[in-house]
A and B are shown apart, each in its own frame.
Chain A
Amino acid sequence: MRYRRFLRLQARSREEIERDVDDELAAHLELRVAELIHRGESPERARAIAVERFGDLRGTREGLVLSARERSGRRRRSAWLDALRQDTVFALRGARRSPGHTLFAVAMLALAIGLTTGTFTVIYGALLRPLPFPHADRLYTLLSQDSTGKRIEQVSLANWLDWSEQNRTIQHSAIYQTGRLPVVTGNESSRVSATETIGEFFGTLQPNMLLGRGYTVADAQSEQRFAVVSEGLWRGLLGGDRSLSRPIVLSGRTYNVVGVVRAGYEYPAGTDVWVSRKYEREFGARRNWVSFTGIARLRDDVGLTDADRDLDAIAAHIRQSDPAGIYSYGVELRPLKSAIAGDAGRYLWLLQGAVGFVLLIACANLAGINLARGKRRTQEMAVRAALGAARARLIRQLLIEHVTLALLAGAAGMLIAWWSVRAVLLRTSDLLPRAEAITIDRGILAFAVVVALITGVITGLLPALQLSRVSLKEQMSGGQRGAVAGGRNLPGALLVGIEVAFALMLLTGGGLLMRSYRILLARDLGFDTSNVITAQIALGTVPEIHEVERYWETLLPSLRSIPGVEAVAASNWIPLGIGVSTFLDIEGRAETGGSGYRAISDDYFRTLGLPLLAGRVFDARDVYGGQRVGVISQKLADTYFQGVNPLGRRMRTPGMESFGGRSEPQWITIVGVVADMRQWGLAEEPRPELYVSYRQVPVHGMSMTALVRTRLSAANLMAAVRNRIREHDRRTPADLGTLAELLDNGLQHRRLTLAVLSTFGAIALALAMIGLYSLISFAVAQRTRELAVRAALGARRRNLLQMVFANAMAVVLLGVIAGLAGAAALTRLLDVMLVEVKPLDPLTLLVVTLCLLAAAALAILLPAVRAARLDPLMALRAE
């Protein structure tokens, strides 16, 4: 009954409804007129009476039309919901009837949806979720541009001062530097992450304060120093003192603590304490001292383009008044959110794309299997159609079956998503920006539901369209029974081809990254990272110049005397850590050069195992106030002294040694040449390097990293090194690590990407093989009669096998070709992550294709062999 009513109440147009009402009223009037005439009235009079008896004809008609329309809409909606419920119940019943298929489909989709959702959770938290600051969309970072338009992530104080004073579009802005500083409490000392700020840092960010307030520019420019601490540091080091009465002592300077930033609002991430820095106006060469990160909050009524134009005008003015400024050519505003995301965005989106492929493969797989299964349900569909179900209704019912499955899978997938997010965070939380924002919340759930719905539609649409086309006549007249069916399954073959193509693309991506990774691991750094302990130390109090030398010249021999230690050295910037470049003025050369700059102790090269190629290394002769000497790398010699003996030549570094314009940089005489090292990371090529003795520039000796090479495992001597440093001076705590760790950290992004991409590739391959297997099984089952007839007519087993195999391999080969084309288009996206490998590396493509073909052959062979073993008599009888 309900079903009949549904069929009767298909959507009705406004005209239809109006016609119905008119018909009804007309019938009424006609009947009354007929009766009145019957009673002896004249037709005209009868008509007049009938109309009069009716009352307000026009008004009633309108009222009836209105109510009929509402009723029609309401019925349609409730009928729709009814049918939806019916179809869902039906779908669940069907799912229970074939538990094997249901389990497989749900498991496969759950895996794909779960991984997709998990990856999106990470992306959303790390890249997309709004920053936890008020009106965070108005927050930007400030970048410098040089004359070539190249952007530099840092800005100089001098430029920033001009921007911040002359603009009309920025509400607040600030610049900052971060570092690890020693903090002394009582008898103990430790190192904390400190951010030194200039400008309205707290006005710009407006972080949520647990206690107190942020300091202002007025505070910073007063005679006192101010600090704001993180909730973590406040609870730990400051003992959760709500009165904030105790000052904090960093690097020997005392700061008044005026506020506590609530946990989760720390910017830059990991900061324990923010301190104010008093600044003086700078200009001239200092414009090139780009060592700060700039942030700005735009005014509410200002758009990005306005701000860009405003700042560009200021930059143009700076260029006119101060032409020597290298990084004063432009200002760029980048949303703070994407600045925080940094490079992570690139590989995270790559992984999201890869997992999207996996999802598509899973969909294609299930769609193919559904197509094949659907063939068995043609009878059911034919009967339904015969009973009056419209095609649209059949399509809907089939779609709902698949959507129901997909939603079940989505629910199960949430577990996989949760697990995968947890696994990634456990291993790599320090790699990901804003790891604390990565959680599964309502938005993510909504994402999963949408993905599941789309998945359901994708997996169901093709089978639904095909299946709903059945005609009863065809079905009842025996259909394909008895006939020799060709066994063609074009949509199914297409789906498998797509799966093969996607799997090939994923495997190619994984293969390329794998090759790059292996090349990197095999690379020679130029120095030996094994068994080297690193100890980063900043001198606590602001020492006299000779104190810097005294500290290191006593600490280093003391560390050397620890049993098991082979060599000890120190440098302000060690390999694989932060590095700093400087401009080079080379005597007798017009244009400025550039190189890395490191202040080192005498034994540095020996400790790292770096060979001296010419001249000498630093020794006791090179003292403060004596002749300035330097050692250069082979690369620097090759770049700036081609065919000339560099020994004895002179250069100077305005960037590193002019000290805020307070002194002229001194000429440095080259006394030695050492081999190159890849100290900027495994993936980077060696750059020109200049080494100076820290004794001659003690300011660079105030914060250095000691390198301790041990004979046996570095781990064994960690504690001894830590103790020795502490005993040496209690006010100078150290951050300890190893060079091996540094090297490893540099590879983590790569390893994560590789691991995830390989996993996705393996899943994709497995799914494609399953799809292939079921397609061939199905095709063979469909062609049983044909094969049997062929066998009966004398076809050899081998021929049958060949025929089935060749047909299937054709599909695979088409998929491979499509996949190679896709790979050619997409692997370019990987380019930045590849090392010494072209995006279309022939070896990788060959190996991947062969692997895939081998796997495909295996998946085809099983059902093909079964087909060849067919007993013709049995098969024909079974029909």
Chain B
Amino acid sequence: VRSHVVSQEAALAELPLLKGTLDLLVLKTLSWGAMHGYAIASWLEQRSAGTLAVEDSALYQALHRLEDRGLVEAEWGLTETNRRARYYSLTSAGRQRLRTETTTWLRYTESVTSILALTSRIV
């Protein structure tokens, strides 16, 4: 049990909230298949119904960061309109990371949510 807690903390420390969140969202998006940067941006916009305001520059930084860590890999390809674009896809390490990060994230938000819900009742 204890070791589990420690690894959770380590994971949290490694991914500061906003950056980490964006990385996780990108990984999740790519789990649907290879996409270029703009497709990822529009996909996130649509899925969050515009609530997640992701700046494009941050997205590209995240993509390159993930590539640095070997979680995604990129390859040049063509869009539907025959435009050359860089397509990102998950590596097996990226897929693995997505699984663990999702679990961690869900547990984390669950506990935070439950605590926040509790305090609101007392107030």
- Interface of A with B (CB < 8 Å)? 20, 23-25, 27-28, 30-32, 34-35, 53-57, 59-60, 63-64, 67-68, 70-71
Chain B, Cβ-Cβ closest to A74: B68
Q: Knowing A53-B55, A55-B57 are in contact, say whether A67-B79 is a contact too (CB < 8 A).
A: no
Whether B83 and A27, one on each chain, are in contact in the complex, defined by CB atoms closer than 8 angstroms, is yes
Q: Quick check: is B108 within 8 A (CB to CB) of the other chain? A: no
Complex Cα–Cα for A25 and B57 (A): 9
Whether B85 and A27, one on each chain, are in contact in the complex, defined by CB atoms closer than 8 angstroms, is yes
Q: Knowing A34-B81, A55-B57 are in contact, say whether A27-B38 is a contact too (CB < 8 A).
A: yes
Chain A, Cβ-Cβ closest to B39: A31
Q: Which residues of A contact B55 (CB under 8 A)?
A: 53-55
| Interface bits B73-92 vs A (CB < 8 Å: 1, else 0) | 00010010101111000000
Whether B38 and A64, one on each chain, are in contact in the complex, defined by CB atoms closer than 8 angstroms, is no
- Interface of B with A (CB < 8 Å)? 36-38, 41-42, 55-58, 60-61, 64-65, 67-68, 76, 79, 81, 83-86
B57 to chain A, nearest CB (A): 4
For the complex with contacts A23-B84, A27-B86, A55-B55, 12 further pairs of A-B residues with Cβ separation under 8 Å are A20-B76, A24-B85, A27-B37, A27-B38, A27-B83, A27-B84, A27-B85, A28-B37, A28-B56, A35-B42, A60-B60, A64-B61
Complex Cα–Cα for A60 and B67 (A): 15
Whether B68 and A70, one on each chain, are in contact in the complex, defined by CB atoms closer than 8 angstroms, is yes
Q: Knowing A67-B64, A67-B65, A67-B68 are in contact, say whether A23-B86 is a contact too (CB < 8 A).
A: yes
- SS class of chain A's interface: helix, strand, loop or mixed? helix
Q: Which residues of A contact B85 (CB under 8 A)?
A: 24, 27-28, 31
Complex Cα–Cα for A28 and B37 (A): 7
Q: Which residues of B contact A55 (CB under 8 A)?
A: 55-58
Complex Cα–Cα for A57 and B59 (A): 12
B58 to chain A, nearest CB (A): 7
Residue among A28, A54, A67 with max Cβ neighbours from chain B (10 Å): A28
Whether B65 and A24, one on each chain, are in contact in the complex, defined by CB atoms closer than 8 angstroms, is no
15 sampled A-B residue pairs with Cβ under 8 A:
A24-B60, A27-B36, A28-B36, A28-B38, A28-B60, A28-B85, A30-B83, A31-B36, A32-B56, A55-B58, A59-B57, A60-B60, A60-B61, A64-B60, A67-B65
Complex Cα–Cα for A734 and B83 (A): 102
Q: Which residues of B contact A56 (CB under 8 A)?
A: 57
Which of A27, A54, A60 contacts B79, CB < 8 Å? A27
Whether A63 and B42, one on each chain, are in contact in the complex, defined by CB atoms closer than 8 angstroms, is no
Q: Knowing A27-B86, A35-B42 are in contact, say whether A63-B37 is a contact too (CB < 8 A).
A: no
B44 to chain A, nearest CB (A): 13
Chain B, Cβ-Cβ closest to A60: B57
Whether B57 and A57, one on each chain, are in contact in the complex, defined by CB atoms closer than 8 angstroms, is yes
Whether A68 and B57, one on each chain, are in contact in the complex, defined by CB atoms closer than 8 angstroms, is no
Whether B68 and A54, one on each chain, are in contact in the complex, defined by CB atoms closer than 8 angstroms, is no
Whether A71 and B79, one on each chain, are in contact in the complex, defined by CB atoms closer than 8 angstroms, is no
Q: Which residues of A contact B61 (CB under 8 A)?
A: 60, 63-64
A258 to chain B, nearest CB (A): 67
B75 to chain A, nearest CB (A): 9
Complex Cα–Cα for A420 and B96 (A): 58
Chain B, Cβ-Cβ closest to A58: B57
B32 to chain A, nearest CB (A): 18
Complex Cα–Cα for A24 and B39 (A): 12
Chain B, Cβ-Cβ closest to A50: B56
Q: Which residues of B contact A20 (CB under 8 A)?
A: 76, 86
Complex Cα–Cα for A57 and B57 (A): 7
B85 to chain A, nearest CB (A): 4
Whether A71 and B57, one on each chain, are in contact in the complex, defined by CB atoms closer than 8 angstroms, is no
Chain A, Cβ-Cβ closest to B38: A31
Q: Knowing A27-B36, A53-B55 are in contact, say whether A64-B86 is a contact too (CB < 8 A).
A: no
Complex Cα–Cα for A68 and B84 (A): 18
Complex Cα–Cα for A70 and B67 (A): 11
Q: Which residues of B contact A67 (CB under 8 A)?
A: 64-65, 67-68
Q: Which residues of A contact B60 (CB under 8 A)?
A: 24-25, 28, 60, 64
Whether A32 and B38, one on each chain, are in contact in the complex, defined by CB atoms closer than 8 angstroms, is yes
Closest 7 interchain pairs by CB?
A55-B57, A60-B57, A54-B56, A31-B38, A55-B55, A27-B85, A24-B86
B80 to chain A, nearest CB (A): 10
Q: Which residues of B contact A25 (CB under 8 A)?
A: 60
Complex Cα–Cα for A226 and B45 (A): 97
Complex Cα–Cα for A67 and B83 (A): 24
Complex Cα–Cα for A59 and B76 (A): 23
Whether A71 and B67, one on each chain, are in contact in the complex, defined by CB atoms closer than 8 angstroms, is yes
Complex Cα–Cα for A714 and B86 (A): 96
Q: Which residues of B contact A60 (CB under 8 A)?
A: 57, 60-61
Q: Which residues of A contact B67 (CB under 8 A)?
A: 67, 71
Q: Which residues of B contact A35 (CB under 8 A)?
A: 42
Q: Which residues of A contact B41 (CB under 8 A)?
A: 28, 32
Q: Which residues of B contact A34 (CB under 8 A)?
A: 81
Complex Cα–Cα for A146 and B37 (A): 88
Q: Which residues of B contact A23 (CB under 8 A)?
A: 84, 86
Whether B64 and A68, one on each chain, are in contact in the complex, defined by CB atoms closer than 8 angstroms, is yes
Q: Which residues of A contact B56 (CB under 8 A)?
A: 28, 32, 53-55
Q: Knowing A53-B55, A60-B57, A60-B60 are in contact, say whether A31-B86 is a contact too (CB < 8 A).
A: no
Q: Which residues of B contact A70 (CB under 8 A)?
A: 68
Q: Which residues of B contact A54 (CB under 8 A)?
A: 55-57
Chain A, Cβ-Cβ closest to B36: A27
Complex Cα–Cα for A31 and B45 (A): 15
Q: Knowing A53-B55, A54-B57 are in contact, say whether A31-B64 is a contact too (CB < 8 A).
A: no
Chain B, Cβ-Cβ closest to A63: B61
Complex Cα–Cα for A450 and B48 (A): 63
Complex Cα–Cα for A55 and B86 (A): 20
Complex Cα–Cα for A562 and B42 (A): 119
Complex Cα–Cα for A67 and B86 (A): 15
Q: Which residues of B contact A71 (CB under 8 A)?
A: 64, 67-68
Complex Cα–Cα for A67 and B64 (A): 7
Q: Which residues of A contact B76 (CB under 8 A)?
A: 20
Complex Cα–Cα for A30 and B37 (A): 12
Complex Cα–Cα for A724 and B30 (A): 105
Complex Cα–Cα for A71 and B84 (A): 21
Complex Cα–Cα for A25 and B41 (A): 13
Complex Cα–Cα for A31 and B81 (A): 9
Complex Cα–Cα for A20 and B76 (A): 9
Complex Cα–Cα for A59 and B79 (A): 26
Q: Which residues of A contact B68 (CB under 8 A)?
A: 67, 70-71
Whether A31 and B57, one on each chain, are in contact in the complex, defined by CB atoms closer than 8 angstroms, is no
A416 to chain B, nearest CB (A): 46
Complex Cα–Cα for A23 and B84 (A): 8
A398 to chain B, nearest CB (A): 31
B43 to chain A, nearest CB (A): 13
Whether A24 and B57, one on each chain, are in contact in the complex, defined by CB atoms closer than 8 angstroms, is no
Complex Cα–Cα for A20 and B61 (A): 15
Complex Cα–Cα for A34 and B57 (A): 19
